[in-house]
């Protein structure tokens, strides 16, 4: 079955430190890949997306993600975390043989230490 895995349920980093959130998916072909951020009680905000082309994609708020086909991964990175980045982060995959449905990872909760 197609699945999306975010291995880290909770990550804590110090403000100013770098960040990497992991995302792996199961499938043979290259799907469409997304990262969303959700603040408590709020909807989802799209950080970035990958459809094709350059495997390093830039998003909003200083985030970037790299698609690695050989590892079926799409990890999210930020070189310097701000306190306002504390939130829940979701990786989502459109396997595009599923009628446009998104499959979400379990989410990673990010805490930022001052």
Partner 1 sequence: GAVVSQHPSRVICKSGTSVKIECRSLDFQATTMFWYRQFPKQSLMLMATSNEGSKATYEQGVEKDKFLINHASLTLSTLTVTSAHPEDSSFYICSARSLASSYNEQFFGPGTRLTVL
Chain positions contacting partner 1, by CB under 8 A? 32, 36, 41-46, 49, 51, 90, 94, 96, 99-107, 109
Q: Judged by CB, which is closer to partner 1: 27, or 96?
A: 96
Least separation in angstroms between residue 108's CB and partner 1 is 10
In sequence order, which residues have a C-beta less than 8 Å from that of residue 75 and are 6 or more positions away? Answer: 20, 21, 22, 23, 65, 66, 68
Least separation in angstroms between residue 67's CB and partner 1 is 14
Report the distance separating Cα 54 and Cα 11, nearest Å: 28
Q: Judged by CB, which is closer to partner 1: 28, or 40?
A: 40
Least separation in angstroms between residue 14's CB and partner 1 is 23
């Amino acid at each position: 079955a197609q699945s999306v895995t975010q291995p880290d349920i909770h990550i804590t980093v110090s403000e100013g430190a770098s960040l990497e959130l992991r995302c792996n998916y199961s499938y043979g072909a290259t799907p469409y890949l997304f990262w969303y951020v959700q603040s408590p009680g709020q909807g989802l905000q799209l950080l970035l997306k990958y459809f094709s082309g350059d495997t390093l994609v830039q998003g909003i708020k200083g985030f970037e993600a790299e698609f690695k086909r050989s590892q079926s991964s799409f990890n999210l990175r930020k070189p310097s975390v701000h306190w306002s980045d504390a939130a829940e982060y979701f990786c989502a995959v459109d396997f595009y043989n599923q009628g446009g449905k998104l499959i979400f990872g379990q989410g990673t909760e990010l805490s930022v230490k001052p």
